[in-house]
Structure 1
Amino acid sequence: MSERWARTILTTYRWAGAAAYPLVGGYIAWRVNKGKEERTRRHERYGRPSHERPEGPLIWVHAASVGETIAVTGLIEHFLAAGIKIVLTTGTVTSASVATERLGGRVIHQYVPLDLKPAVSRFLNHWRPDLAIMAESEIWPMTILELGARRVPQVLVNGRMSDRSFKSWRKRSFLAEALFENLAHVVAQSEVDGERFRKLGARPVTVSGNLKVDTQHPPVDAATLAAIRGQIGGRRTWAAVSTHDGEEMAAADVHKMLRKRHPDLLSIVVPRHPERAPALKAEMEARGLKVICRSTGEAVTAGIDILLGDTIGEMGLYLRLTEIAFVGRSLTGSGGQNPIEPAMLGTAVLSGCNVQNFREAYRRLIDSGGARLVRDTQMLAGAVNYLLNNAGKREEMIAAGRHTVEEMSGALTRTLTALEPFIHPLIVQSRLQRGNGRP
């Protein structure tokens, strides 16, 4: 009965999506006006391609946002080196910029089609992927069903299942099984994630660790870094990065609390969504703070309180300007953001307590002494002040964080091992075609 009920729900989802398809234009237009879509490329969201399909084997890699895009870069580099073509889809403007910055024209980038049958079918009809690789927690029912109907192997890599998602799927376990049985393999980030996928019906499931640990350090323009360091001089700094609503103002409050003890303090605030910067700047200035936006290119002069990091692809710059970093979506938000990049780049990591989405990474960093959790703004201010005043403790946390990240490495190798049965035939096919003189 449950299997029949799952098929009924998925069929209803399929046809409801098809019926709603003509009505989504207004939603896309709204996103364009909010800067969440590229106006000239919005047709890609309907599955309409902006490139021709290249000859030979093709892997479709999907990474929803910035973190996932960074995580799969190492995999993509390996596929490219093996001569396999890649179409990479992402869901945000910022992740598209990161893809261009890190991979350039070596991959074909498209915005992911809406999870509606007409859009997904059009996308698959054009690209005809030989393998689909989805990153982290991308479970789109129509996409999974359409790929399954075409017998395209689907692999979830760096798989993550949050507490909230697991609870939701458990209530609909019959539906989860109907979807997850289409996955040829799940490569999970942690044992907890792996066990959750198994309980929801995924087979086989292996555990790799977090792919982001094995990525290269976030890039930085050396001249820009040197110039801004010169402007900052000997001032004390701390950063609040990947912040969500409420956390930027918490950072502003921390700055106001601490500048009495550290009159030269510079706070670097990097919102997760840079388009919020104008409103944030106005609100911070209303609190009596002097703020500049990185996007304007203004110099960090002595009187500036806050450098607002409203640019895309410069996290490597912001983190290299400090040795103390609070990682957001953890104080007023929920789930947290990935602490690996800050630890990797040599900062003492601070975070709120809501870090369920990155539980394993935080557990290991906290156990080693590389990270510390804070409950509220007052406690955050105290932690930043302590680290500013205690260079020895700050250096201990930085060293512990770097060591922990090194210990967590190896996910890329384990993931490639799991993917080998799917990739090897494509490599052989690619070599045979090149041997026959085809491009």
Structure 2
Amino acid sequence: MLRSLSVRVLIALVAGLALGAAAAAYGGVEVKRVIEVVESVGGLWLNSLRMTVVPLIFAVLVTGIAGVADAAATGRLAVRTLVLIVVILTFSACFSVGFAELFYAIWPVGGTGGAALKAGASASPDLAKAAPNLIDFVKGLAPQNAIKAASEDAILPLVVFASFFGFAVTRLPDARRRSITEFFDSVGEAMVTIVRWVLWAAPIGVFALGLGVGLRAGVGAAGEIGHYMAAISLTNIGLTLLAYVLALAVGRVPFGRWARAVAPVQVAAFATQSSLACLPAMIERSRDDLGIADRVTGLVLPLSVALFRMTGPAANLGVALFLLQVYGVHPSVGQYVGAVFVSVATSLASVSLPGQVSFFASIAPICLTLGLPIDLLPILIAVEVIPDIFRTIGNVTGDMAITAVLGRGETSAPDPAELAKA
């Protein structure tokens, strides 16, 4: 069990919080100074993650857009799949905003617990940026200087520029397009390698940061971390239920048939926490239980696993929405629109990234778009193992739901001879 990075990071977080809280309660001035020195190691680790965000996001957006364009060129079914994916991902992000409004109205972030968690961050809450007005927001969508935007963490203009750049690359002759996409693919791979190196030291970094959180926040932060896990897990469960509605109401699949088909896949998702590992089961259940034609399952499901995470925008934006409650930041409508756009773009672009890499690469840009510090993200990534179970279940359910929708009217009865062999 200790071979799992997620488990080691979680243990490091608990140990850091406990030792930091004990030092706050019983330690002297010298002990607290030692902890502050150790916490600087956590700050170094966090900055090592931060330095990869801009080049990684730019690289994966350019290569991701090129990949989408290549997929769209394979035929009408691929185009219909891509359009449905973008629509559902956009709805996923909007659902997260609506769900958060309701959830925090019923169960608000506690004043004491929120203040404790905020006090535990290594950055000052004053780093939260003021919401721009509508005119400044519209003017700022296109960066005057892309390099300056990157250096100032102006993520939304950078994402807009990267999107235009990626689409422009798809219009180049094949040889030039391949050379550019190969370059940015190499840049992305290099950044992922750096992030993997940094994440290898995650238990040390999270332990050091946890010491600081425990020292300043005491045990008051623990309850809000549980609050966070409940918020993200329930967001994922809500989207999973909406995938059921999509399959039943739009795909017109009878409930019993749908439940029999999706249940084994959900069990596999719970066990593996990997949509890719569930692909064979999804193809088999869609073909045999739902009777969807091979031409549909053979294209839609691999394309969905490659580009589609139904819970991605909702869960990633949900993390930022939780931090809004912690910091008491009130973004403008334009910032919310920008955050929805960034959440969809980064979800599409970062699907191929490893779990812990995609967590930081997808959520940090959303936080920066909303004017939020990202210093609490390493604490939240330590407990991501629990919400990630519900993320994966929602993702595979969504994959099968859009397959049922796109396969409607193109179903074929299963071959009895093939069923007898199974």
Taking structure 2 as the reference length, the TM-score comes to 0.26
Higher relative contact order (CA 8 A, sep 6+): 2
Which one has a larger percent helix, Structure 1 or Structure 2?
2
Which one has a larger percent strand, Structure 1 or Structure 2?
1
